[in-house]
Structure 1
């Protein structure tokens, strides 16, 4: 009888320990998700330390960052909404951005598939680089690169945060990449 109680006691303790560890693990995962989400938000908030020649140039870049951050979260709906809002509220021809930038943002706003959005975001990143070099008045923008994007062809993007948040892989490979250059 004593042996049965000991065995049941050991099983009960083991079950409680296992359950407690399992809950702690779940809690840690939730904390990590919150940390990741806050970090992505931090990228948006940190853009205030940069300055552009004109407010409308800043709008273009802030919209670019919003699209990038939505892709980091692999959120096709948010990406589409941000790009569509930009296209709806700006003219194709503007002295503050290239028509190609507008066109690419408008096309991203039409797409529902996140992988197609990422392909156009890659094109947008290529077109926006000379714009950023000309428009930036003060601060730093980090040109970041992932060699594994698009079947190892590689792709780059821009961020105001030196830490890597990969828009081409999102949470699959969130920190894959490196800083290649700094636009000042």
Structure 2
């Protein structure tokens, strides 16, 4: 009887270890899929920001919707519980702000919302940034408004008519 219990315990122990190990292993396909998700999130944010540069409120609505969708599909990995809760809460805030952008066609209201969205986006940018992408935090020194760009070149999305090139790079990833 003892022998059967020991064998059963060893089998369960080995099975549990195998399941744990296979769960922790990440396949190249999974890494590729995750990188594609990160690129999609960044691409959608940049498209939203760029639609403000050209003052296209309809494109801003479309790009905010795409950003919402890509964020909803993204799962955070390798975070402690408190970090996971914080990242998830910030993602929810970005989604809510993107929803506000889709609810108006007024470009000035959209710009105001994206100012707040951009601050939250930068906080999570290290988790969303694809490995082969450089991102820059840019700021308008006159207003303190920030945005994320994939170029060091300044194109101010909040004041494109009067201050298109007003700004500076404050940080990079």
Q: TM-score, normalised by structure 1?
A: 0.61
Correspondence 1:59 to 2:49:
no
Q: Name 1:79's counterpart in structure 2.
A: 60
Unaligned runs of at least 5 residues, structure 2: 1-31, 77-87
**Closer/same/farther in 2, CA of residues 85 and 128 from structure 1, 3 Å limit:** closer
TM-fit CA distance, 1:61: 1.2
Aligned partners of 1:127, 1:77: CA distance in 2, in Å?
Answer: 23
Contact kept, 8 Å, 1:86 with 1:106, in 2: the verdict is no
Aligned partners of 2:138, 2:33: CA distance in 1, in Å?
Answer: 20
- After TM superposition, list the pairs within 5 Å mapping 1:123-138 onto structure 2: 123-136=116-129, 137-138=131-132
Correspondence 1:167 to 2:157:
yes
**Closer/same/farther in 2, CA of residues 56 and 148 from structure 1, 3 Å limit:** same
TM-fit CA distance, 1:172: 2.2
Aligned partners of 1:182, 1:158: CA distance in 2, in Å?
Answer: 9
Quick check: 52-61 or 72-81, which moved more?
52-61
As a proportion of its length, which structure holds more strand?
1
TM-fit CA distance, 1:52: 9.8
Matched positions, count: 128
One of 106, 116, 119 as aligned partner of 1:113: 106
TM-fit CA distance, 1:90: 4.9
Aligned partners of 1:90, 1:106: CA distance in 2, in Å?
Answer: 13
Q: Name 1:145's counterpart in structure 2.
A: 139
Q: Name 1:70's counterpart in structure 2.
A: 51
